[in-house]
Every structure is written in C-alpha cells, then in structure tokens.
Amino acid sequence: MQIGILGSGMVGQTVGAKLVELGHDVVIGTRDPAKISEWLQQVGGSARAGSGAEAAAHGEIVVNATAGTASLDALNAAGAENLRGKILIDIANPLQFVDGKPTLTISNTDSLAEQIQRAFPDTRVVKTLNTLNAPLMVNPAALADGDHTIFVSGDDADAKAQVIDLLRDGFGWRNIVDLGDISTARGTEALLLIWVQLWGALGTPSFNFKIVQ
Ligand SMILES: NC(=O)c1ccc[n+]([C@@H]2O[C@H](COP(=O)([O-])OP(=O)(O)OC[C@H]3O[C@@H](n4cnc5c(N)ncnc54)[C@H](OP(=O)(O)O)[C@@H]3O)[C@@H](O)[C@H]2O)c1
C-alpha cells in the first residue's frame, strides 16, 4: 500500500521503518529532506522523502507524526485536496511544556483530533498510537509479551476497521479498544499529562497502560 507520513521525527521514522519492513511504499513528508538521508539509507526499500504535499498525495493512508502544536499548519501545507477521502492516522499530541510541566494546548471540550477532523471534513481521521513511546507503537511484544492496550478513536467505521487491521496484523497489537467517535480522543490526548509524569516516576518511557476488567 502507498503510505505518506507527515513529520520526520522519532515517530515518523519509527512508524515509517516498520511500514517499509511490512512492504509498504512510504514517502516521508518533511520541510528538510536532507535531514533524513541517513534514515532512508538505513531502511532501504522503496522509502523516499518529499514535501508534505508530496507525501500526502502519495498516501492511500496518511500518518500525522508532526508536533501537535504545528499539526494543523503542517496539514494545511500538505493540502486538503491531497488528503481528500483518505484515512489520516493521527498520532500527534497537543503537548507543550510550560515552566517544565506538561500542558495541553487543546483540552477538555476539544482535542487536536477533532480540530483536524473539523478542518478536513473529507478526510477520515483515526486517532491512535499517541499514548505510548514510538518504539512500542510498532513492537508491542517488546513489553509484557504484548499484553497491554492501544486505543482507537474516529467517526468513520470503515477507516477505523482498516487501521485496526494494520495495528493487529502489521504491528502486532492484540488488545485494541475502540473508544468510539473522534471526540473520545479528548481522553487519550489528556493521558499525556499522566504519561509524562509516569516517565519521570518510572525512569523509562518504555511502559504502557493495560486495561483490565
Ligand atoms: N516521540 C514519541 O515517542 C511520541 C509518542 C506518542 C506521540 N507522539 C506525538 O507524535 C508527534 C511526533 O513526535 P516526534 O517525537 O516524532 O517529533 P516532534 O519533535 O514532536 O515532531 C517533529 C515533527 O513535526 C514536524 N513539524 C514541526 N513543526 C512543523 C511545522 N511548523 N510545519 C510542519 N511540520 C512541522 C517536523 O517536521 P519536519 O520533518 O518538517 O522538521 C518534525 O518532523 C508529536 O505530536 C508527539 O506528541 C510522540
């Protein structure tokens, strides 16, 4: 499948490398393609770098791996016409540090995922993977034998089903909780406040939430 990734940070590179390993045709959209030339050499395959618009146009599925505070700008630069009708997997968090403390720039009555869905009504936004560290996103088996939980939010049932297939069959997730419509991303984005504190308390970012009932 053709997949476009917006953002070339840790998440874009980690998810991109896994998608290449799975045989997908990946274009990473970045403002500075030279920055990821080493990464491109490492992953090999068909991966290449381009502008955000090129990555979005390329993708049958597009991944938002940009800084949450810049996501709407990055998506606007990628172009609504290049995102029309497509699934957008939104991994970004509206996280900002104020006086060294984690703060959400969007919260309570709204979420970044909802803002993206409102700004791009013809794009099918699915929020997922934003509640854990990048290496675990694509390799849940690295922790607790994969027995921990990932959340999915989105308005479009077919889009969510396709993303769940990728999470399960591609990345190896077994415990996938469909929280409901895109507004449920308010909860998973807000998890970042406790997630950052847990990183400090545990001394490692390699942990996750497990829902038991
Ligand atoms: N790191 C993690 O383990 C983790 C875990 C869960 C969720 N997340 C979320 O995933 C997203 C990506 O995280 P990250 O750690 O990979 O990197 P990051 O440093 O949060 O994001 C950097 C990416 O955002 C893009 N960006 C920044 N400002 C931009 C602008 N004005 N216009 C267009 N693009 C812009 C940059 O793209 P260029 O290539 O153009 O520079 C860069 O690749 C974030 O929203 C983060 O909260 C991260």
| Residue-level pLDDT at 203 | 98
What is residue 44's predicted lDDT score, i.e. its pLDDT?
Answer: 86
Q: Is the pTM of this model over 0.85?
A: yes
Q: Give the pLDDT score at 46.
A: 83
88 in Cβ contact with 126 (< 8 Å): yes
CA of 102 to the centre of ligand 1 (A): 16
Tell me the best of 14, 63, 66 to mutate to test the pocket of ligand 1, counting ligand atoms within 8 Å of each CB and taking the most: 66
Report pLDDT digits (tens) over 95-105. 999 999 999 99
**Closest atom, ligand 1, to C-alpha of 9:** 16
Compute the distance from residue 172 Cα to the ligand 1 centre, in Å: 24
Query: Residue 37: what pLDDT?
Result: 95
Amino acid, res. 30: T
pLDDT in tens, 134-169: 999 999 999 999 999 999 999 999 999 999 999 999
Q: Which is the closest atom of ligand 1 to the Cα of 7?
A: 43
- Report the nearest-CA residue for atom 21 of ligand 1: 67
Residue 189: what pLDDT? Answer: 98
Low-confidence ranges of the chain (pLDDT < 70): none
The H-or-E segment that residue 2 falls in is strand 2-6
Give the Å distance between the CA of 65 and the centre of ligand 1: 5
Two tokens at 33?
A: 């393609």
- The pLDDT score that the predictor gives to residue 18 is 98
Query: Ligand 1 centre and the CA of 71: distance in Å?
Result: 8
Contact between residue 126 and residue 90 where contact means Cβ atoms under 8 Å apart:
yes
Residue (of 177, 197, 204, 192) closest to 67 by Cα position? 192
Q: According to the model, what pLDDT value does residue 45 have?
A: 79
Q: Is 35 left (phi over 0), alpha (psi -120 to 50) or beta?
A: alpha
Ligand 1: residues within 6 Å at CB?
Answer: 7-12, 30-32, 65-68, 70, 73-74, 91-93, 95, 130, 133-134
Do residues 93 and 130 touch, judged by C-beta distance below 8 A? yes
How remote is the CA of residue 212 from the centroid of ligand 1, in Å? Answer: 31
